[in-house]
Amino acid sequence: MELRQIKYFIEVAKREHVTEAADALHVAQSAVSRQIFNLEEELGVDLFIRKGRTVKLTPVGKVFLERMIHAMNVIDNATQVVNEYLDPEKGVIHIGFPSSLTTYILPTAISAFRERYPDVQFSLSQYAYRGLTEAVASGDVNIALLGPVPTNLKDMEGTVLFNENMVALLPANHPLANKSSIALYELKEDSFVLFPEGFILRELVVKACMQIGFEPKVSFEGEDIDTIKGLVSAGLGVSIIPEITLVDTLPRETVMIPIKEPKFTRTVGMVVPTNRQLLPTEKLFYDFLQNYFAHLENF
């Protein structure tokens, strides 16, 4: 089994089309077909169901693809480790992140890090909350920034960088808009704008409301922070969102009001694997984040 065969196999499986895979690999279609045939001959099984140049993975092909993607991640990481040991300040950092950290936390941290290590490159991938831990587990990323920080993870470790407040975002003409702070229960009759079901920030808000005796009435949903802020700005409801998402970006015709009761916060931090080492450059960034936010917490 050759590395080239595995690369061709993964590309064909991803595109489900031999010619498109060949174009992406910049090789002849016949070369791809020949290598796939040789791989199947060596393994003694059919990896694809063929319909012309269009293909679908067989059941065993799906299992083989999963294992080969993992194997290629290991090989790529090993190659990168060698390069980074020669110069960790010129490596690549693979990070996963959710939409709630894109407006301030992630750009600020990366900008501060690159002032010290300007030659480091970043590979950034956005995921839904639960997709972040899955990406770390599969090796697609080695560091996931997220909030809240999960606990009791298999083969992963969570580190809290800081705690942040959840705040109310209200239309500017809301009856409570002039208050300096509010109790969450004061919003029990309002319509809410929240993330769809299955999103962790929705779960946090619903749980907090239920604990004080009401279930929020959700009138509209948005799959990212900017959409939610826009819907509140249009007067379509109120929302509860992380305070950090409003730094320098308070939408027009809205007000941000702290929640005094109950105390409503979330942890923000990172998850890394425990069953494999971070690459040298990633370890630099991991240590930097802990020191950076520890320093901010002191002020």
Confidence at residue 256, expressed as pLDDT on a 0 to 100 scale:
95
CB 164 within 8 A of CB 265: yes
Nearest to 144 by CA among 72, 94, 203: 94
Burial 207-222 (b: 16+ CB within 10 A, else e): ebbeeeeeebebebbb
Amino acid at site 136: V
Which of 81, 103, 125 marks a domain boundary? 81
**Residue 75 sits in the same domain as residue 59:** yes
Cα distance between residue 225 and residue 246, in whole Å: 10
Whether the CB-CB separation of 269 and 106 falls below 8 Å is answered with: no
The tens place of each residue's pLDDT in the chain, 299 residues long, gives 788 888 888 988 898 888 888 888 888 888 888 888 888 888 898 898 988 768 899 989 899 988 888 888 878 777 776 766 656 787 888 899 998 888 788 888 999 999 999 989 898 999 988 899 999 998 889 999 999 999 888 899 999 999 999 999 999 999 999 999 999 999 999 999 999 998 999 999 999 999 999 999 999 999 888 899 999 999 999 999 999 888 777 889 999 999 999 989 999 999 999 988 888 889 999 999 999 988 765 53
DSSP for 143-205, written as a single string:
EEEESSPP-S-TTEEEEEEEEEEEEEEEETTSTTTT-S-EEGGGGTTSEEEEPPTT-HHHHHH
Domain containing residue 280: 88-162+267-297
Query: Structurally, how many domains does the chain consist of?
Result: 3
| Domain boundary, last residue among 39, 63, 81 | 81
Residues 171 and 157 grouped into a single domain: no
Does 189 share its domain with 279? no
Residue 172 and residue 255 in one domain? yes
Asked whether residue 99 falls in the same domain as residue 153, the answer is yes
Q: How many other C-beta atoms can be found within 10 angstroms of the C-beta atom of residue 196? A: 11
- 239 and 98 part of one domain: no
Do 42 and 102 lie in one domain? The reply is no
CATH of the domain at 293: 3.40.190.10
126, 193: one domain? no
Question: Is the domain of 142 the same as that of 178?
Answer: no
Q: What are phi and psi of 87, to 5 degrees?
A: -160, 90
CA 113 vs CA 20, 107, 269: distances in Å: 39, 10, 16
206 lies in the same domain as 117: no
The candidate with the shortest Cα–Cα distance to 161, out of 30, 23, 271, 40, is: 271
DSSP state of 245: G
Residue 148: cis peptide before it, omega within 30 degrees of 0: yes
Last residue of a domain, one of 38, 57, 81: 81
Residues 148, 181 within the same domain: no
CB 113 within 8 A of CB 285: yes
Contact in structure between 225 and 129 (CB atoms under 8 Å): no
What pLDDT score does 84 carry? 62
Q: 284 and 224 share a domain?
A: no
Give the pLDDT confidence of 61-89 residue by residue, as tens digits. Answer: 899 988 888 888 878 777 776 766 656 78
